[in-house]
A and B are shown apart, each in its own frame.
Chain A
Amino acid sequence: MTDNFTYHSRKNVFYVILGIVFIVFFVRLIQLQFLYSEKYGKMSAENAIRNVAVAPLRGYMYDRNGILVVDNRPAYNVTVTPVEFENKNLELLTEILKMEKEEVLERIEKGKKYNRFSPVKIKRDVDFQTLSFVEEYSGQLKGIEYQFEPKRYYPTKAHGSHLVGYIKEITESQLQKLGDFYRQGDIIGASGLEAGYEKYLRGKKGFELITVDAEGKIIGNFNDGKSDIQPVEGDDLELTLDIKVQALAESLLSDKRGAVVAIDPTDGGIIALVSKPDFNPELLSGVTPFSVWQQLNTDPAKPLFNRATLTKYPPGSTFKMLLALAALQEGIIDENWRVNCRGSFTFGNKVFKDMHVHGSTNVVEAIQRSCNVFFYQLMLKTGLPTWTKYGKQFGFGAPTGIDILEENSGLLPSEEYYNRRYGKGRWTQGYLVSLGIGQGELGVSPLQLAAYAMALANEGKYYKPHVVDKIKEKESKKIIKVEPVMRQINLKNEVWNAVREGLYRAVNVAGGTGAAARVPGINVAGKTGTAQNPHGKDHAWFIGFAPYENPKIAICVLVENVGYGGVFAAPIAGLCIEQFLYGEIIRNKLNQPKIILTKTEAEQIRD
């Protein structure tokens, strides 16, 4: 009984509170649907308020010296608001925009699906003449407007196409996958840093509520713009790149096919990453004309292909140091172990060639002069498992983890690989001989070789290669430092010393194959290589680092289909090292003898 008694008094509290709620709702309905119904009816009929996205500025990119590498420039897009578009204007519009009717209609149709009242981009980055036509016919072309959208601009001489990457309009499938942030017609990073750091670079869209009249003409911003959201600029990237080295390397490879990768051995930062032939990223910064795409995709030189990270060629003699390190570290040989080179090596019934008759050779001399016979024998002595183990330690056969997304693992063969490929017991030691000199079933990328040169330079500190050093967040004003990731390859000091000495001598002592990489006033160490190419002329390799005493740059150069590495790749490496360490090319200003090899010297170089 007592319960019911209290319930009765408490019931009234609920009646009153709920009563008030429903009365407030009732009054609000009267207000909206009786008093203001005309106003809202008009707004609804005219669709008086539009929600228009405002494109943010994409983040800027700076090189290691603070030089602006990727910039933004104003550009204008022509847009159509689907609901207002009148089909009778199609003819005129296609004429002004110089587009196909089908393409215009397709774009309007796609935009309709999202929101018939939101302007959809029909053509990006129109020229001034088109813009003035749109302005001139604005009375006639209902629902057709133009809209500001920044465009990528590259202020330096370098392209950096494969490193920086390019942006493009988002595809239908990306739209479905990436959901909320993007709308049809939005720009998204498609390759390189633009893709790898899309999340940071894109910024945050702004939104404007625009009030329009019954004619669809813009009156102004709703609520005096107080309801608008300002766009937030994308985060800036500070790169480890040296844009001047990048530009130089690009120019040195300008009429060739090949790649240059230079790394800072103190932290793994990429100094330059060039793949040639390349493309002008400005052509791809938005809607790319179909003709340009077609040309890029069908060009037999494959300008879109990133040779620096995707190529899989045998590394040639640049791989000899790996075998030397493995054999020395495992105690299979010591520095005094000698081979008498007679210019060729016979194993079974097969003859393996050398370029010269080197005579009695130890490991340091074998690296200096690139003696093949020494390494044929050493490979048989060392065996495949040990060689593979060390190859893995130096990052071969696996992606390096660089932050520009696309790279190739390459191929580092192992016993397992041969068993799989030829069947267990159906391959012989003879298969391995050429691995000793970096030929045969072996594939590496210039990036992997550059990282290997880095580890030789800094005695085993294998940093993960990366291009971004710092991210400057715009909204929080924080600067995020990308901490270098390092893996130590532990070898004995004397092992490092022997191999490094070989590399020094290969460049600086007579009889070395890398003389063309010399730089005035700086000790360069390095190794040439030539990848045998069954389809044409051989590919030229060079890897090296400098200064020898305290390395600040490690480099790998690949020039395809030209011949010996010592002749074609080493000089490019020397110039890049010079540019990086001096900040300019000084060799022509000096009064000392020029480092140009004599004809006989050049003919001596056969690797």
Chain B
Amino acid sequence: MQNWFSENINLGILISTLLLVLIGLGSIYSATYDAGASDFFNRQLIWAGIGLVAMLIVMFIPFRTLQLISYPLYIFSILLLIGVLIFGKTVAGSKSWFGFGSFGLQPSEFVKVTCVLALATYLSDKKINLSRFKNLLVAVSIVLIPIALIIRQPDVGTAIIYVLMLIPVLYWAGASLTLMLIIISPAAAAVAALFGITPFLIVLGTLLITFFVLKENKLISAIIFSITVLVGVSVQFIYGKLAPYQQKRIDTFLNPEADPLGSGYNVIQSKVAIGSGGVFGKGFLEGSQTQLNFIPAQWTDFIYCVPAEEFGFVGSILILILFAYILFRSINVASTAKSRFASLVTMGVVSIFSAHILINIGMVMGIMPVIGVPLPLLSYGGSFLLSSMLMVGLLLNMYINRKEY
């Protein structure tokens, strides 16, 4: 028994996950504390319970069964996503919720899980070769369909997460560097062009150096390079044609500090919260930034400042270490797994988690633009906590089955 347990259960990931959920609950308790536990805390506690059960169930679903149900699940979840566009209710300007009484469900969170499974199932098929255009198209479509639907809600943050999941998984599945360059460089050029001419030139320079280092085929290099230049130039051209208020919206997106009402104010206050926490923090429920509600709805996207203020550097770094442990350990599992499916599912989950952590913590620290993306396992939000724990369930399942073919 002892043997079976240590052989099959990835205790490190399990414990790290539970610790992060507990830290999240504590942070929500503190952020919404008002002479006692708030509704927010009580709800999140219920969701954490549901999440734990769901995680354990997913962990023990037979490996083959997962593969078999991945396509039906994917289609079902896409239908839900269409349904929410038609019947959903609008929360904070975004139509992404199904309401059941006081509990709401956000299908786009669960599509993350089904999308990873479907993509992994497709790419693990021995007959699939990403250098064939048809196969590549199908793989990309599996992710683009939910993106197209989510952008209509509109929820740009979640859409970006899907992109940041697709690229690493394609790479892991064996896409060539050339292919990766074709996908990444125009996107990078488009974003850089919005920041200005210098960042755009830096992207082009980096691209040229990459071609040189990889000794890439000259014709292919030339094509990729021209497409990149074209995308960058047309983005700047379109920007010039936009109405001033539309330009302002993009500027605010790129430089939130210029927008104190919305995100800029939040970022300034969140930096003050983190910085004032110092090395050891102000103590639980003692963080003045947190307790005085400086940051509106801090319990969702700005949850990281709560432990950062109240537990200082010690608390902040603990969270980073727990996340880093889960991610690095999982990459290791993915690279040693015998089954291609297990490996790809693991990398899908790793990519989604990494994207969330990068954007969210980067934003809270004031080094990334403000994009509304929550922090896995910590942020308030039932659907998101549940889907995050489902994904950890997948990681643990793949670990159990890492020696299967």
Tell me the A residues contacting B by CB distance below 8 Å: 3-4, 6-8, 10-11, 13-15, 18, 21-22, 24-26, 28-30, 32-34, 36-37, 39-41, 43-45, 47, 49, 51, 83, 115-117, 205, 207-209, 222-223, 226-229, 475-476
Contact = CB atoms under 8 A, between A and B. Distances in A.
Nearest to B316: A29
B313 interface: yes
A44 B312 contact: no
B335 A37 contact: no
B365 interface: yes
A33 B312 contact: yes
Contacts of B260: 51, 207-209, 222, 227-229
A10 B275 contact: no
Nearest to A13: B171
A227 B264 contact: yes
Contact of A117 (B268, B292, B354): B292
10 contacts: A6-B174, A11-B334, A25-B361, A28-B365, A49-B269, A207-B261, A222-B260, A222-B268, A227-B258, A229-B259
A142 to B, nearest CB: 18
Given A7-B335, A37-B277, A41-B275, A226 B258 contact: yes
B333 to A, nearest CB: 11
Contacts of B171: 10, 13
B168 A3 contact: no
Interface residues of B, number: 54
Contacts of B335: 4, 7-8, 10-11
Given A227-B260, A229-B261, A33 B289 contact: no
B1 interface: no
Contact of B332 (A11, A28, A40): A11
A interface majority secondary structure: helix
A33 B257 CA distance: 20
A522 to B, nearest CB: 49
B40 interface: no
Nearest to B296: A115
Nearest to A3: B340
B365 A25 contact: yes
B149 interface: no
A51 B264 CA distance: 11
A222 to B, nearest CB: 8
Interface in B75-103: none
B120 to A, nearest CB: 13
B151 to A, nearest CB: 22
A22 B320 contact: yes
A476 B243 CA distance: 9
A44 to B, nearest CB: 4
B308 A51 contact: no
B367 A14 contact: no
A209 B174 contact: no
Contacts of B22: none
B265 A209 contact: yes
A226 B174 CA distance: 48
Nearest to B269: A49
B215 to A, nearest CB: 17
Nearest to B243: A476
